[in-house]
A and B are shown apart, each in its own frame.
Chain A
Amino acid sequence: MEQRTQIDRIAEPWGTRTPYGAGEPWPVRVDQHLAAGVAEDDVERWVQAASLLHSNGDAMDVAVRAGRIVGVRGRAVDRVNHGRLGPKDLFGWQANGSPDRLTRPLIRRDGRLVETDWETAMAAVAGRARELIEERGPSSIGFHTTGQLFLEEYYTLAVLARGGIGTPHLDGNTRLCTATAAAALKESFGCDGQPGSYADVDHADVICLYGHNVAETQSVLWTRMLDRLDGPQPPAIVCVDPRRTPVAERAAVHLAPRPGTNVMLMNGLLHELIAHDRVDRAYLDAHTVGFDELARTVAACPPERVAEVCDVPVDDLRRAARIIGDAERLVSTVLQGFYQSHQATAAAVQVNNVHLLRGMLGRPGCGVLQMNGQPTAQNTRECGANGDLPGFRNWANDAHVEELARLWNVETSRIPHHSAPTHAMQIMRYVEDGSIRFLHVSGTNPAVSMPELARMRALLGQDRLFLVVQDLFLTETATLADVVLPAATWAEKTGTFTNADRTVHLSEQAVDPPGEARPDLEILLDLARRLDLRDRDGAPLLGWTSPEEAFEAWKECSRGRQCDYTGLTYERLRGGSGIPWPCTDERPEGTERLYVDGDFRSRADDCEGYGRDLVTGAPVEPTEYRALNPDGRAVLKACEHLPSHEPTTTEHPYDLITGRTLYQFHTRTKTARAPQLQAAAPEVWVEASADDARAEGWAEGDLLRVATPRGSVLARLRVGGIRPGALFVPFHYGYWDTTGDAPDGDGGRAANELTLTGWDPASKQPLFKAGAARADRVAASDGLAAPAPTTTASRPAGDPGARPVAATRGGPPALCDERIVAGDER
């Protein structure tokens, strides 16, 4: 039995409910959107892919007609989404066909970027790199990549940089979104790798979301939670978020702590679990170390003190602890509210500690999901294109480095491992001090996404820096480049990627890239050829030419590690569902949950990292680690609350947090070129609470100048559901569709004009939610409301007497098909 409907997916981002009960299969609902005037019968081919505009990994098929993409449809058979797609998936594909795609390489001549051919562009890039390697050595070369390429491309980049050039300076923009997830998993479990599965939502009786506005960041996962909430035996939701998000509205308890106090809040929850003996002693004794120190640390955090520091009602705190303590099947998820805030890793680790204390890992409904922000961030991490070595290998373990050297047939000394690979923020510091002179940026836009943009523009714009940007569009960063390389994107090239619950999908080429644009893999292989990178026997270091060959090479690198891909092939990934790693010949169907029976990968000779001091970031020495954790158990790591680095003052009285909205992605390079998405959230805004608006005499739609010592932003005010004392500004809005690459005159548009340069010492993730700001009214609203969506966390507070705000609607262009399948007829 089937039910077909059409629905405005801008107005109703999560679509129609298909309620289900605990332990039942999540019903299938197939979402589809085709270009205006295209009927299903007009589609010539459906080509398999998965979502590129968030980390959920929703499987889809791309509709092709006459060599162009004409729509998308969710894949009913897939374990992740059971046919559903989010608004960014349904509409975002239109950006591929945007008329302002880069179609030819650009090179700077007499101060201007002009079109050139590939030979000229690549000769300039490789020539400058070789010159610098000879003159100043490999550490004058840096690479800053993304969380949006494919696995095959990251692995190629990692071999090129780490085994070929021999530079430690390779990191992704994943540093900005997911570094703390990796760091927290390594601290607690010895190795990266998501313990849980999205399927745990089907079984949970309690779901805790820590700084994770899942309704906007992973809308299909929220759809799954909503369907549980509307079904029999719904789970209780505990939400920790300074904003009244859609999650908060469905929560049994919503805690909105003062920004910068997450560790205190977590220590308070842990205090209550221990004080009321909601602790699985047998599990602790058998599978963990570190309980005594954790108990000592949280003993100093009784609820009254925590309530005061965090400014949350003490009864709510106790109630949240009781719900968690009484849970039988507990799922916890964590994202930017923790990862981009003060004491990021320390706070995320305490969520792991809740699960270790309660022995709730590795069983249906018992899982931690330390989330990712980007679609392929997991691959950046596992391939070593971030600040780790490929295959979750430990830079401080010589045996691991030797394994890589054997695999690549290079001298061990060629792979830099004298210290941790350089993180992105430090790479930028080395650009600033002039010791990195060549920077290759692929698929990311640091001139908008990094903190403190005035500094970022100054350091990227230096004459002594040779900047190469590989991207789809002329981004703010590309305008500063010496060479711009036009890249192919999703659906124009083939490769694999892995979502936040370890599910690997194949994404196939559906259409040709525009003009002369090339897949990133081809560009990187061309660079390796021109640099003449060879192994110990004089053979080319990168012995592959196609994505599938790169995948096969990666499988060898992953063999025996936690992220083992050896049981996967392109053929196995075609047609059916995505498959979660580890996937081996012994486990051909992959692995739903890690750490079943408390079996961790934290032995000193196996683990990916020995951990760091959560306050100073100093790495734990191998001998120390062996002494602390001789049997390879999980580590309960404690940390005390520290005051923020930029507390509010009378001059800057507001805590500033930046963030995202459901309808946009990153710096809007793709989503702003999808008309339905752009119309839903067209311009930057600032959110303040109704209390603060009253006290300041502000009203909805007033134009405010938000300022910090770093810069200022002009934005219209949304009086919304954020906690008093805090301001929220979305970070997506830059200058490519206004003034080019920088603010024109007075007041910017990009939230990162305001943010401070600072990062978590353990994960090195920049702290975008940790500054103090002031706000002043520049002009009254003049009847205009803030250009903020009303469907999400930015919805108006709804104060009586407030100016009415038109509801966010997509209208006819946003109508999508839904096909609900009764029973499980996949």
Chain B
Amino acid sequence: MLRNRHAEQIGLALERVHAAECALIRALDDLRHRHPNDHEVFHVARDVAAWSRRHVPLVAEAAGAWGRDLDPEGPAEDSSVRDRLAERAAQLVGRRHAASVLLLDDLRAAHLCAAGASLDWEVLAQAAQALRDDALLALVQECHPQTLRQLRWTNAQVKETSAQIVVAGAGS
């Protein structure tokens, strides 16, 4: 069976997507907790992390069909005491320009995670097409467009804020 022969590789590809989506969730959560004073980042990071949180169980379910056991629960959303302390601390230092420089770092990290996840979806999409596996292809078609929107969002945020942070903030 073609399916059996490829189970190992497809399972691995799904595992990579799963890991990438979990990493992206953590990066978006970090962005949120560290930048509560950048309100658009704060709110939208959660909205788009919710997409990844929906992807994770779908990926885990698909992986089960290929004999791979993946955790259907991604990183928990409920902010821990540590996160809330981080939020409070971030609110207090938010008046300092250094916090804005950190924002660029954290957006960059989230963008790279989204890029990684997008490539992993791409690999899965190609494999699904080669195998003519409709279920797998449907999964990719449902999830990958949202990864691309996460990628565009992090890029757009960098584009929108970097000039002010780098140029006008110098010497603050």
Q: Is B156 an interface residue (CB 8 A)?
A: yes
Q: Which residues of B contact A759 (CB under 8 A)?
A: 39-40
Q: Please, how many angstroms separate the alpha-carbon atoms of A195 and B67 in the complex?
A: 57
Q: Which residues of A contact B153 (CB under 8 A)?
A: 613, 616-618
A434 CB contact (under 8 Å) in B48, B97, B149, B155: B97
Q: State whether A616 and B39 are in contact (beta carbons under 8 Å apart), knowing that A139-B167, A430-B168 are contacts in the complex.
A: no
A433 CB contact (under 8 Å) in B50, B163, B169, B170: B169
Q: Which residues of A contact B156 (CB under 8 A)?
A: 616-619
**How far is the CB of B147 from the nearest CB of chain A, in Å?**
12
A615 close to B47 (CB less than 8 A)? yes
Encoded as 1 (CB less than 8 Å from any A CB) or 0, chain B from 140 to 172 comes to 000000000110110111011001110111111
Encoded as 1 (CB less than 8 Å from any A CB) or 0, chain B from 93 to 137 comes to 011110110000000000000000000000000000000000000
Q: Select the stretch in A221-229, A418-426, A725-733 that faces chain B.
A: A418-426
Q: State whether A419 and B163 are in contact (beta carbons under 8 Å apart), knowing that A429-B38, A434-B97, A436-B168 are contacts in the complex.
A: yes
B159 close to A419 (CB less than 8 A)? yes
Closest B-chain residue to A620, C-beta based?
A: B152
For chain B, what secondary structure do more than half of its interface residues adopt (helix, strand, loop), or is it mixed? helix
A140 close to B159 (CB less than 8 A)? no
Give the size range of A's interface with the partner.
20 to 34
Closest B-chain residue to A343, C-beta based?
A: B47
> In the complex, which residues 390-438 of chain A have their Cβ closer than 8 Å to any Cβ of chain B?
418-420, 422, 425-426, 429-430, 432-436
Q: Which residues of B contact A617 (CB under 8 A)?
A: 40, 44, 153, 156
**How far is the CB of A711 from the nearest CB of chain B, in Å?**
15
Task: Work out how many contacts link A and B, with CB atoms closer than 8 A.
Answer: 91
A435 close to B165 (CB less than 8 A)? yes
Encoded as 1 (CB less than 8 Å from any B CB) or 0, chain A from 108 to 145 comes to 00000000000000000000000000001101100000
Q: Which residues of B contact A642 (CB under 8 A)?
A: 47, 50
Q: Which residues of A contact B159 (CB under 8 A)?
A: 418-419
Q: Is B37 an interface residue (CB 8 A)?
A: yes
Closest A-chain residue to B46, C-beta based?
A: A645
B39 close to A758 (CB less than 8 A)? yes
Q: Is A757 an interface residue (CB 8 A)?
A: yes
Q: Is B43 an interface residue (CB 8 A)?
A: yes
For chain A, what secondary structure do more than half of its interface residues adopt (helix, strand, loop), or is it mixed? loop
**How far is the CB of A414 from the nearest CB of chain B, in Å?**
15
Q: Which residues of B contact A645 (CB under 8 A)?
A: 43, 46
A136 CB contact (under 8 Å) in B47, B95, B168: B168
**How far is the CB of B2 from the nearest CB of chain A, in Å?**
31
Q: Please, how many angstroms separate the alpha-carbon atoms of A140 and B171 in the complex?
A: 12
> In the complex, which residues 73-91 of chain B have their Cβ closer than 8 Å to any Cβ of chain A?
none
A430 close to B164 (CB less than 8 A)? yes
B40 close to A137 (CB less than 8 A)? no
Q: Please, how many angstroms separate the alpha-carbon atoms of A613 and B148 in the complex?
A: 11
**How far is the CB of A398 from the nearest CB of chain B, in Å?**
16
Closest B-chain residue to A761, C-beta based?
A: B44
B95 CB contact (under 8 Å) in A139, A432, A619: A432
Closest B-chain residue to A425, C-beta based?
A: B39
**How far is the CB of A418 from the nearest CB of chain B, in Å?**
6
Q: Which residues of B contact A757 (CB under 8 A)?
A: 39
Q: Please, how many angstroms separate the alpha-carbon atoms of A764 and B96 in the complex?
A: 23
Closest A-chain residue to B103, C-beta based?
A: A433
Q: State whether A618 and B149 are in contact (beta carbons under 8 Å apart), knowing that A139-B164, A429-B37, A430-B164 are contacts in the complex.
A: yes
Q: Please, how many angstroms separate the alpha-carbon atoms of A758 and B38 in the complex?
A: 9
Q: Which residues of A contact B48 (CB under 8 A)?
A: 615-616
Q: Which residues of B contact A761 (CB under 8 A)?
A: 40, 43-44
Q: Please, how many angstroms separate the alpha-carbon atoms of A648 and B40 in the complex?
A: 20
Q: Please, how many angstroms separate the alpha-carbon atoms of A473 and B39 in the complex?
A: 31
Closest A-chain residue to B170, C-beta based?
A: A136
B100 CB contact (under 8 Å) in A136, A435, A459: A435
A136 close to B160 (CB less than 8 A)? no
- Most A CB within 10 A of own CB, among B95, B157, B165: B95
Q: Please, how many angstroms separate the alpha-carbon atoms of A764 and B44 in the complex?
A: 12
Q: Which residues of A contact B164 (CB under 8 A)?
A: 139, 422, 430, 435
B168 CB contact (under 8 Å) in A426, A429, A435: A435
Q: Please, how many angstroms separate the alpha-carbon atoms of A140 and B38 in the complex?
A: 18
Q: Please, how many angstroms separate the alpha-carbon atoms of A766 and B106 in the complex?
A: 24
Q: Please, how many angstroms separate the alpha-carbon atoms of A258 and B146 in the complex?
A: 27
Q: Which residues of A contact B100 (CB under 8 A)?
A: 433, 435
Q: Please, how many angstroms separate the alpha-carbon atoms of A432 and B164 in the complex?
A: 13
- Most A CB within 10 A of own CB, among B40, B95, B99, B170: B40
A616 close to B152 (CB less than 8 A)? yes
**How far is the CB of B33 from the nearest CB of chain A, in Å?**
15
- Most B CB within 10 A of own CB, among A418, A430, A617, A618: A618
B167 CB contact (under 8 Å) in A137, A433, A616: A137
> In the complex, which residues 145-203 of chain A have their Cβ closer than 8 Å to any Cβ of chain B?
none
> In the complex, which residues 637-659 of chain A have their Cβ closer than 8 Å to any Cβ of chain B?
642, 645
Q: Please, how many angstroms separate the alpha-carbon atoms of A645 and B44 in the complex?
A: 9
Q: Please, how many angstroms separate the alpha-carbon atoms of A96 and B51 in the complex?
A: 54
A434 close to B39 (CB less than 8 A)? no
Q: Which residues of B contact A616 (CB under 8 A)?
A: 44, 47-48, 149-150, 152-153, 156
Q: Which residues of A contact B99 (CB under 8 A)?
A: 433
Q: Please, how many angstroms separate the alpha-carbon atoms of A434 and B95 in the complex?
A: 7
B37 close to A139 (CB less than 8 A)? no
Q: Which residues of A contact B46 (CB under 8 A)?
A: 645
Q: Which residues of B contact A140 (CB under 8 A)?
A: 168
A435 close to B152 (CB less than 8 A)? no
Between A and B, 21 residue pairs with Cβ closer than 8 Å are A137-B167, A137-B168, A139-B168, A425-B39, A426-B40, A432-B95, A433-B97, A434-B169, A435-B100, A435-B164, A435-B168, A613-B152, A615-B149, A616-B44, A616-B47, A616-B48, A616-B149, A617-B40, A617-B156, A618-B153, A619-B156
Interface positions of B (Cβ within 8 A of A): 37-40, 43-44, 46-48, 50, 94-97, 99-100, 149-150, 152-153, 155-157, 159-160, 163-165, 167-172
Besides A433-B95, A642-B50, 18 more A-B contacts (Cβ < 8 Å) are A139-B163, A426-B40, A433-B96, A433-B172, A434-B172, A435-B164, A435-B168, A613-B152, A613-B153, A615-B47, A616-B44, A616-B149, A616-B152, A618-B153, A618-B157, A645-B46, A759-B39, A761-B44
Q: Considering the complex of A and B, which 3 residue pairs feature the smallest CB-CB distances, nearest first?
A: A618-B156, A616-B153, A139-B168
